[in-house]
Structure 1
Amino acid sequence: MNREDVMSIAAAIESMKPEFTRLSDSIWDFAELKFEEQRSSGLLAKALEDNDFSVRRGVAGMDTAFIGESGSGKPVIAFLGEFDALASMSQAAGIAEAKPLVEGASGHGCGHNLLGVGSLMAAIALARHLKANNLPGTVRYYGCPGEEGGSGKTFMVRAGLFDDVDTALTWHPAPFNGVRSTNNLAVLEYFYRFKGVAAHAANAAHLGRSALDAVELMNVGVNFLREHMPQDCRVHYAITDAGGRAANVVQANAEVLYLIRAPEMPQALDLATRVEKVARGAAMMTETEVEIVFDTASTNLLPNITLETAMHENMVALGPIAFDEADIAFARSIQETFSQEAIKSSIRLYQMKRDVFSNANVDGSSPLHLGLREFEGHSHFRAGSTDVGDVSWVTPTAQCWAPAWAIGTNPHTWQVVAQGKSPIAHKAMAHAAKTLATTGLSLMTSPDLLAAARAEWLEKTDGKSYVCPIPADVTPGSHPHGRPVR
C-alpha cells in the first residue's frame, strides 16, 4: 500500500479523534459489566448508524451484541470491539494513587473503553476511504460484549456470525507499541457447588456434613495435581460461596470457581476431567454432593504471521506516537507506583528486545514506549486467554498493541483505570485505529495478501474443524442457574 493512502487514513482518524475520545470517556464512566453494557453498546451502535453503517442489534442471543456493516461484496474485513468493565475496579482517573470513585464499584481495568472505540474508528475510517475511492468490499464492526469472563465472541462464533469473514483485526491497550505474536491458552470455567448438611458445630457436629470442608479438600487436591500437569497449563480458583459467616454452623453449601487453561482445547478438556475427579473425591471424603456447572470457555489463539507482518509494516509507515512532556510526566508518576521488578517483568512479558525506530534495546528508561517493538516473525507463549481465539479458528485473525499505559502496568489493576482517560490513552487509541484501518486497506487492495493469510490459516488448522467449547444449550451469562455438565 502506498504512503499516500496511509497518511490519508491517518489524517482522517486524527480529525475523528475529539469526537471519539468523548465516546471512549463516556464508556469509561459507565464501566458496565459483562452482558450489562446497555449504554456502552448503545453509544457504539449509534455511532455506526450516524456514519451510514447498517446495524443488527441483539445478535447471538446477547442483548448488548451487535454488528455494523458498510459496503458490499468481497472481501469482508471484520474489526472486533470490546466494551465491558471489571468488577471492583473503581478508580479515579488521572491520578497516581489508588482511590476508588465508589468503593466496590466496577471500572475499566483492561482498557476496553479504548479497545472498542479504537476498532470503531478504524472501521469507520476504512469504510469512508472505500466509498470515496469507489473500492469494493465489506467493512464490519463486531460489538462483542462480555470478554471478561463471558466469552461473548465465542457465542458469536457459535452462531455463525463470522462464517463469511475473510479476516478479523483487533488490538489491545498495553505498555508497548507494536505487534507481538502470541499463543494464548484455551480456558474452561466451571463452578463446583457442594451441598452438605447443616448442624450445630459444637454439640452436634457429628450430624453435619461440611460443604466448605469439601471445597477446601478440593483445593488441596488440585494443588497436588499441579505438579503432574503439563508445564504450560494453568489452574486458578476463587471461593465464590464459603457457606456463610457463622463459624458455629456446619456449612451446608459452598462453591468454588475454577479456570482451567492449557495450550490447546483438547488438553484443557483432559485437565478438566482430572479436576472433576478431585472434586468428586472431595465430595466422597466429606459425604457431600457436588454439582459441576459449566460457565464459559474460550479456545486457544491461532496467530497469523502473514497478517501480523502486514500490520507491523503499516505501523512502521505510521511512525511513532507523538507523546509530549506532560504525557511522560504522568506516565512517570504512574510508574513510581511499581517496583523495579514489575517494570522489568513488563518488558519481559511483551518480549521487548529492540526498537525499530531507535534500533536500541528497550530498557524501561523512559516511562512510556516512544517507539515500535521489533517484530520477530514468530510467536511467543502467553499464559492469558481471550475469546479472540475462537474467532481465529474460523477466520485468519491478527491484533496489535498500542502504548496506552506506562511501562510496568499490568492489566486488571487500578493503574489501568487511572490511565484510561489520559491523553496518553487517547493517542494510543487513535494510533491503533490507524494501524487497523491501514491493515484493512492492505487486505482490501491485495488479493495476494488475503490468499497468503488464508493459506497460513489452513496450514495451522491442518484440517481440524473448529468445535465450539460452549455447549449449544448454554446461554450467555447463565450462572448461577447454569446446567450441570455431568
Structure 2
Amino acid sequence: MPHSQTIDAIIDAHHHEIIELSDTIWEHPELRFKEFQSSQLLSSFLEEQGFVVERGIGGLPTAFSATYGNEKPVIGILGEYDALPGLSQVAESDEEIAILEGENGHGCGHNLLGTAGVSAVLALKKRLEDGEIKGTIQYFGCPAEEGGSGKTYMVREGVFDHVDTALTWHPHSMTGVFSYSSLANYQVYFEFSGKAAHAADSPHLGRSALDATELMNVGVNYLREHMIPEARVHYAVTDTGGRSPNVVQAHAEVLYLIRAPKINQVHALYERVVDIAKGAALMTGTTLSIRFDKACSDYVPNHVINQIVEKKLQAVGLPEYSAEEYCYAKKMAATITADELSSAHREAERMSNFELEEDFYVAGKPFFSSIIPYRKSYAHMTGSTDVGDVSWVVPTAQFFFTCFVAGTPLHTWQLVSQGKTSLAHKGLLHASKTLAKTAEHLFLHPEVIDAAKKEHDKVTRNRYQNPIPAEISPAFHE
C-alpha cells in the first residue's frame, strides 16, 4: 500500500479550491432558505469529488447531505452558508462602505463555516480510501441558521437519527472549544388588524393596528423587569401599515424573538408576551393573529468529545501572519472599540469558566494571542444556535476559531469586510484541520464515541421535544 497522506497534507493540497468556494459564497450572499447558489456550489463540488449527494433533505430545498462510506460509525460534519440582510460591505476595507446599499452580507462568516466542513470531509474521504480509518463521513449542508432554524426542522424530520456524533465550528475573533450552552428561542409574528379611517375627519371610526403594535411593545418593555436575568426579548416592527400619518392604520405587524436558557422557560415567557398582545388588541378594538415562525433548543455540550477537540486545537495551533497581514489587521483593529474588545474578553472567560491568563490579550496586538483553555462550563452563551437541536439527538461538539481581529463583533460590517481576506482563509483551513483530526480520532477510537453516547444519554435522558410544532412549515417565501 502506498504511503497515505496526512490530514494536513490533503487539506493543504486542496486549499485553493476551498478558498475559491468560500469567496464565491461571500460574493453571492443569500438569506435563509434561499441559499440556492451556495447550496448547489457546495453539493456539486462534493459530488464531483465522489460523494453521494442527496438534495432537499428534511423537506428543505437548500439542505443537502454528502456521504462517503457505508460502515459504522457515522460522523456528521455540519455546514452553513446563509447570510444576513443589510450588511453589504466592500471586502478588505477598514471603512464601512456598502457594495450595494441595503443588500445582504456574510456578517457571521458562514461562507467560511460551510467550506471548512467541505475541506474536512474531503480529507477524511481520502483517509477512508487509504484504509487508514473505517466508517462513514457525512457532510450536512444546513440552511437558514440565521432566523430560520434550518437544523431544527431537519432534526424534526429525522435527518440526523442515524448519526453517531456530529462536529461543527464557528468563525470568531478567538479560538476555543464551545464549552457552554446557548439560549433556546421562539420567533413569532404578531399581526393586528383594525379599521382604516381619516385620521383628522373621522378618527373615532377607525381602530388602529399600529396603536396596538406600539402598546404591545410598551407592555413587553415593562415585562423586562419581571423576566429571569438570562432571558432576552427582541422585536422588529415589520409592517407599520402605511406611510401616511393622516390614516388610521388598519394593519400592522411586529416580529418577536424570545430567548431563555431552556425551552420551557421560553414557552412560559412567550405565553406572557401573548397575553400582552391580547391586551393590546383589547385596548384598541383590533383583532390579533399569531404566526409561529421558528424555534430552537439550547445547546448541550459533550464533555467527552470536547476534550478531544481541545487537544486537536492545541495540535493545529493558531495561524501565523505576514507583515502585510499584520498591517491590515492593525487598521481593522482600530475600528474595534474598547467596549467591544472587553465584551469579547468576557465571553472568552465564560467559555473557559475561569479567569484567563494575562497574555491572552496583549495591548496593541491585533489578535488574541492564545487558545482559550478548555474547562467544563455551566454558563450560557447570550446568543442562540440551531446546532442546539442537533446536540439533543446526537453527541455534538463545536468550537470557535480565529478568523478576524480581536474583538470583532458578529453581525457587523467589520466581520463582512474581513470574511474574504487571507486572515479568514487561514482560520478556515486551520478549522478544517481541527474538524478532520477530531473526526479521525473518533474513527480510530470508537470507544470514545461510546463514552460520548453514554454522557449524552445521561444528560438528555430522552427529554427532548422538538420546539417547532408539526404543523409549522418553514417560511420559504419571506
Gaps in structure 1 of 5+ consecutive residues: 481-486
Distance in 2, Cα, partners of 1:165 & 1:359: 38
| Kept after mapping to 1: 8 A contact 2:72/2:136 | yes
Whether contact under 8 Å (1:321, 1:371) holds in the other structure is: no
Q: Give the aligned partner of residue 484 of structure 1.
A: none
Is the 1:303–1:379 Cα contact (8 Å) retained in structure 2? Answer: no
Is residue 75–residue 137 contact of structure 2 (8 Å, CA) maintained in 1? yes
AA aligned opposite 1:136: K
Answer whether contact 1:298 1:389 (CA < 8 A) is retained: yes
Q: Which amino acid aligns with 2:239?
A: D
Q: Deviations over 1:371-402 (max 9, x none)?
A: 32211233432110010000000000010111
Secondary structure of the structure 1 residue equivalent to 2:342 = helix
Listed one character per residue, the Cα deviations across residues 243-270 of structure 1 (whole Å, up to 9, x for unaligned) are 1110010111000000011111111111
Distance 1:27 1:478, change over 3 A: closer
Partner of 1:11, secondary structure, is helix
CA distance in 2, matches of 1:273, 1:442: 45
CA distance in 1: counterparts of 2:450 and 2:173, whole angstroms? 32
Q: Within the alignment, does 1:403 sit opposite 2:402 as a pair?
A: yes
Query: How do 1:388-467 and structure 2 match up within 5 A?
Result: 388-464=387-463, 466-467=464-465
Separation in 2 of the partners of 1:104 and 1:12?
Answer: 40
Please state if 1:129 is matched with 2:127: yes
Q: Does 1:251 align with 2:265?
A: no
Q: Unaligned 5+ residue runs, structure 2? A: none
| Partner residue in 1 for 2:203 | 205
Deviates more, 1:250-259 or 1:175-184: 175-184
Letter in 2 for 1:350: A
Could you tell me which residue of structure 1 aligns to residue 81 of structure 2?
83
* Closer/same/farther in 2, CA of residues 468 and 431 from structure 1, 3 Å limit: same
- Whole-Å Cα distance in 2 between the matches of residues 185 and 207 of structure 1? 44
Is residue 180 of structure 1 aligned with residue 178 of structure 2? yes
Shift of 1:12: 1.5
What corresponds to 1:65 in structure 2?
63
Distance in 2 of aligned mates of 1:236 and 1:176: 26
* Corresponding residue SS for 1:381: coil
Distance 1:153 1:338, change over 3 A: same
Aligned-pair CA distance for 1:326: 2.0
State how far apart, in whole Å, the 2-side matches of 1:459 and 1:153 are: 23
- Residue 47 of structure 1 and its aligned partner are, at CA, apart by 1.3
Q: Distance in 1 between matches of 2:14 and 2:8?
A: 10
Query: Corresponding residue for 1:102?
Result: 100
Deviation larger for 124-133 or 411-420: 124-133
Q: Quote the residue 1:11 is aligned against.
A: 9
Counterpart residue type for residue 284 of structure 1:
L
Which whole-Å CA distance do the structure 2 matches of 1:317 and 1:437 have between them? 12
User: Could you tell me the percent identity over the aligned residues?
Assistant: 46
Cα deviations by residue, 1:94-138 (Å, 9 ceiling, x for unpaired): 110000000111010100000000011111111211211253201
Is the contact made by 2:85 and 2:105 (CA closer than 8 Å) also made in structure 1?
yes
Query: AA paired with 2:102?
Result: G
Is contact 1:154-1:298 (8 Å) kept?
yes
The whole-number CA distance in structure 1 between the counterparts of 2:102 and 2:117 is 29
User: How many angstroms apart in 2 are the aligned matches of 1:385 and 1:342?
Assistant: 19
Alpha carbons 2:180, 2:351 under 8 Å: kept: no
Partner Cα separation in structure 1 for residue 326 and residue 341 of structure 2: 16
**Secondary structure of residue in 1 paired with 2:228:** coil
CA distance change for structure 1 residues 267 and 245 in 2, over 3 Å: closer, same or farther? same
**Letter matched to residue 256 of structure 2:** Y
- String of CA shifts for 1:348-371, please: whole Å, max 9, x gaps: 1222899xxx97531252211343
Which residue pairs with 2:294 in the alignment?
296
Structure 2 CA distance, aligned partners of 1:353 and 1:234? 20
Contact kept? 1:321, 1:370, Cα under 8 Å: no
Match runs of 1:38-437 below 5 Å: 38-351=36-349, 360-365=358-363, 366-437=365-436
Question: What does the per-residue CA deviation read over 1:402-448, in whole Å, with 9 as the maximum and x for residues that have no partner?
Answer: 11111111111001110011000000000000000000011111122
Task: Measure how far apart 1:339 and its partner are.
Answer: 1.5
Q: Is the 8 Å Cα contact of residues 29 and 104 (structure 2) preserved in structure 1?
A: yes
Residue type matched to 1:390 in 2? D
TM-score of the two chains, using structure 2 as the length reference: 0.96
Task: Compute the displacement of 1:332 (Å).
Answer: 1.4
Offset at residue 467 of structure 1 (A)? 1.2
**Offset of residue 173 of structure 1:** 0.4
Query: Quick check: 2:212–2:281 contact (8 Å CA) kept in 1?
Result: yes
One-letter code of the match for 2:368? H
RMSD: 1.7
Cα contact 1:306–1:453 (8 A) shared by 2 = yes
- Would the alpha carbon gap of residues 192 and 478 (structure 1) be closer, same or farther in structure 2, given more than 3 Å must change? farther
SS in 1 for 2:197: coil
SS in 2 for 1:108: coil
User: In structure 2, what is the Cα distance between the partners aligned to 1:459 and 1:45?
Assistant: 36
Length-normalised TM-score, structure 1: 0.94
Q: Is the 8 A contact 1:353 1:362 kept in 2?
A: no
User: CA contact under 8 A between 2:179 and 2:351: conserved in structure 1?
Assistant: no
Task: Provide the C-alpha distance between the structure 1 equivalents of 2:301 and 2:274, rounded to a whole number of angstroms.
Answer: 31
Amino acid at match of 2:412: T
Measured in 1, the distance between the counterparts of 2:180 and 2:241 equals 40
Q: 1:342 to 1:359 in 2, by over 3 A?
A: closer
The 3-state SS of whatever aligns with 1:344 is helix
Kindly state the Cα deviation for residue 478 of structure 1 after the two structures are TM-superposed: 5.1
Note if contact 2:79-2:114 (Cα within 8 Å) is conserved in structure 1.
Answer: yes
> Which residue identity is paired with 1:119?
G
Q: Which whole-Å CA distance do the structure 2 matches of 1:51 and 1:324 have between them? A: 32
Query: 2:159 is paired with a residue of what secondary structure?
Result: coil
| Alpha-carbon distance between aligned partners in 1 of 2:143 and 2:327, rounded to the nearest angstrom | 34
Distance in 1 separating the partners of 2:454 and 2:368: 34
- Point out the more displaced range, 132-141 or 26-35: 132-141
1:397 & 1:353 partners in 2: Cα distance? 16
Matches of 2:121 and 2:216, distance apart in 1: 47
Q: Are 1:37 and 2:35 counterparts?
A: yes
